[in-house]
Amino acid sequence: MKNMTFAMIKPDAVRNRNTGKIYDRILTSGFSIVSAKLLRMTKSQAEGFYDVHSERPFFGELTEFMSSGPCMVLALKKENAVEEWRKTIGATNPDEAETGSIRKDFATSIGENAVHGSDSDENAKKEIGFFFSESELIANK
């Protein structure tokens, strides 16, 4: 069954003019875009989104970065969307990311790593709900 995951093109990738190239990867990897928008998170929105990492040493830097400029948020659809999108983006650290993965090709560091992907179906649902209302998701569900 096709299901959804949540993806983000992070501020570094938008700033570096890689949005179009990453969109192309999304589509050629077989994902459908259910919904997408460009927005800039406030610091407190970024803190809310990355709440699970609030005790980690990089939390301040991460939420500064994520609120530093616009990012593209997307709801994506495919068979096994969560796992497939994690494979497409590659490891968190670009030095460890697989050849051909988005992070290998577009990330500049472990922090500024171009894209986000949900790590479970449960978190995908939560993260999609963080940014999209039901009416924004119906077009291509």
Which own/partner contact pairs does 94-103 have at CB distance under 8 Å and 24+ positions apart? 102/22, 102/25
120 or 140: CB nearest Mg ion = 120
Contact 8, 102 (CB under 8 A): no
Pick 24 or 51: Cβ nearer Mg ion = 51
Catalytic residue among 88, 89, 116, 128: 116
CB of 56 to ligand UDP, least distance (A): 7
Q: Return the number of the residue (55 or 134) whose C-beta is nearest ligand UDP.
A: 55
Tokens representing 58? 């990089």
Q: Is 116 a catalytic residue?
A: yes
- Nearest CA to 79 among 22, 121, 113, 111? 121
Residues in contact with ligand UDP by CB under 6 A are 53, 58, 62, 92, 110-111, 113, 116, 119
- Please give the positions annotated as active site: 116
List interacting residues with Mg ion (CB under 5 A): 119
